[in-house]
């Protein structure tokens, strides 16, 4: 997220390339946007039920930020 409230979790930073980067490389733009939208919906719907509402809202916002980047045709850098 741009406001710094959500950061990529450290267990995702163990690999040189993160899954979001692989997905953007190998999915078509339409598939990738659908993947991002699906994750936005997933985290929005489960936020009230897992006991980690703020964490899920932060994840939803992260995927929404990435969707905006994808719509602009930008390459996502999950380390930002």
Give the domain ranges of the chain: 28-74
Given this model, what pLDDT does residue 3 score? 42
Structure confidence by residue, pLDDT tens digits, 6-65: 454 555 557 789 999 999 999 999 999 999 999 999 999 999 887 889 999 999 999 999
47-73 CB burial, b ≥16 within 10 A, e <16: beeeeeeeebbbbbbbbbbbbebbeee
> Which contacts qualify for 65-70: CB closer than 8 Å, 24 or more apart?
65/1, 65/2, 66/20, 66/36, 67/33, 67/36, 67/37, 67/40, 70/24, 70/29, 70/32, 70/33, 70/36
């Amino acid at each position: 997220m741009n406001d710094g409230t959500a950061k990529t979790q450290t267990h995702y930073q163990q690999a040189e390339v993160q899954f979001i980067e692989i997905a953007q490389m190998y999915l078509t733009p339409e598939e990738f946007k659908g993947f991002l939208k699906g994750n936005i919906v997933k985290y929005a719907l489960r936020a009230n039920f897992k006991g980690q509402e703020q964490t899920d809202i932060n994840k939803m916002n992260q995927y929404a930020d990435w969707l905006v980047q994808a719509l602009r045709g930008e390459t996502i850098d999950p380390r930002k």
